[in-house]
Amino acid sequence: MGYQNVSFPENSLFLVTGGAGFIGSNLCEAILKMGYKVRCLDDLSTGKQTNIDMLMDNPNYEFIKGDIKDFDTCMKACDGVDYVLNQAAWGSVPQSIEMSLLYCANNIMGTLNMMEAARQNGLKKFVYASSSSVYGDEPNLPKKEGREGNLLPPYAVCKMCDEE
């Protein structure tokens, strides 16, 4: 069963955070093709305007340039939304080592802001995108929940914190 066979109530509104990133922009496009409305929240720090340029003229698409670290922005972005697909995160392991405080602010506090804004706005579902980095240095494949190694970079710690 592909995603094309999944249905939601008519006029459902999806918020895709990090919607100008590679995965987020593809989610936006797929949701629009399914006939639903999409609101994209992205600060364009890692996402690209070119990823969403083709969506800007769609009447069912709305772009908000904003930062998930700002709670008021998260509240406004969640207003009237049914579902959140949270893709917003900074993803570079090496940069997370160099800029651990900024990664913590963005990837932990930003995600917490989104979760709280979703809760206060009474959203139906919140889908969080994690990372395989949460399995740490566990060498065995395939990776399995409950069999995690040591979390090495701050990026992995952030993602695990959000999962918890």
| 26 found inside a domain | yes
Sign of CA dihedral 16, 21, 24, 27: positive
| 38 found inside a domain | yes
pTM of the model: 0.91
| 62 found inside a domain | yes
Based on the residue annotation, tell me whether 155 is a catalytic residue of this protein: yes
**pLDDT(133) > 90:** no
| 1 found inside a domain | no
**pLDDT(69) > 80:** yes
Residue 119 is predicted with a pLDDT of 98
| 3 found inside a domain | no
- CA dist 163 and 52 (Å) reads 28
Comparing 25 with 135, the larger pLDDT belongs to 25
CATH classification of the domain holding 36: 3.40.50.720
| 131 found inside a domain | yes
Contact 117, 109 (CB under 8 A): no
How many structural domains is the chain composed of? 1
Q: How confident is the model over 28-65, as pLDDT tens digits?
A: 999 999 999 999 999 999 999 999 999 999 999 999 99
| 151 found inside a domain | yes
CB contact set of 17 (below 8 Å; sequence gap of 6+): 24, 41, 42, 68, 77, 84, 85, 86, 87, 88, 114
Instruction: Name the residue range of residue 68's domain.
Output: 9-163
Mean predicted lDDT score pLDDT of the chain: 92
| 102 found inside a domain | yes
Query: Alpha helices, DSSP H only, in 16-164?
Result: 22-33, 49-52, 71-78, 93-98, 100-103, 110-120, 154-163
Contact 20, 40 (CB under 8 A): yes
